[in-house]
């Protein structure tokens, strides 16, 4: 996946904090480096790369497709969650939900937002978002199972309080 197409970025860090061997890096390559850093459990590096990518998108006024915008919002939510910045993760996910309410990936945004609220101890808000996710028509089976299980688990946890 190459979210953001081929907008060239000069002096971008590679996945290890060094300058890339090539003169420019595309947003798609930055995306892949961020995902790789997340897979390596390197949330700090993923955060650094994400900040660079988002700054690049803003400065270059990159023309992103709706699918690419959705991907960047969700990737930001993943990175912020991995960094333990749950309010930021929730905000990133809600950008997708609010700004692109008809996009097919909104249920995924709702799930990430609910996880953020859950991590912040706001169980009722998390349950509400998981339930909103379950009410969406464009919900794939994996998200449905995840949201159902989360609602069940949080209701049990709330009842135990």
Lowest mean pLDDT among 23-27, 97-101, 151-155: 23-27
At residue 4, the pLDDT reads 55
| Residue 8: pLDDT over 50 | no
With H, G, I as helix, E, B as strand and everything else as coil, classify residue 26: strand
8 Å CB contact between 9 and 25: yes
Q: What is the dihedral of CA 117, 161, 143, 77, to 10 degrees?
A: 20
The mean-pLDDT minimum among 18-27, 52-61, 82-91, 127-136 falls in 18-27
pLDDT band at 74 (very low <50, low <70, confident <90, very high): very high
Banded model confidence at residue 3, pLDDT cuts 50, 70, 90:
low
> What residue ranges define each of the domains in the chain, with the CATH number in brackets?
1-64 (no CATH), 85-161 (1.25.40.10)
Task: Specify the pLDDT at position 13.
Answer: 47
Range from 9-18, 21-30, 137-146 that averages highest in pLDDT: 137-146
Are the beta carbons of 79 and 46 closer than 8 angstroms? yes
pLDDT at 14 over 70: no
> In which band, very low, low, confident or very high, does the pLDDT at 161 lie, cut at 50, 70 and 90?
confident
């Amino acid at each position: 996946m190459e979210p953001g197409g081929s907008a060239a970025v000069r002096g971008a860090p590679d996945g290890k904090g060094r300058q890339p061997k090539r003169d420019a890096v595309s947003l798609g390559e930055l995306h892949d480096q961020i995902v790789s850093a997340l897979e390596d459990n390197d949330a700090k590096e993923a955060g650094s790369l994400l900040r660079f990518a988002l700054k690049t998108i803003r400065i270059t006024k990159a023309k992103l497709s709706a699918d690419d915008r959705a991907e960047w919002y969700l990737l930001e939510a993943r990175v912020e969650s991995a960094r333990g910045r749950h309010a930021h993760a929730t905000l990133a996910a809600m950008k997708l939900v609010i700004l692109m309410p008809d996009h097919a990936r909104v249920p995924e945004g709702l799930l990430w937002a609910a996880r953020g609220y859950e991590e912040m101890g706001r169980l009722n808000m998390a349950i509400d978002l998981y339930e909103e996710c379950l009410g969406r028509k464009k919900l794939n089976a994996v998200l449905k199972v995840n949201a159902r299980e989360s609602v069940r688990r949080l209701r049990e946890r709330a009842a135990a309080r």
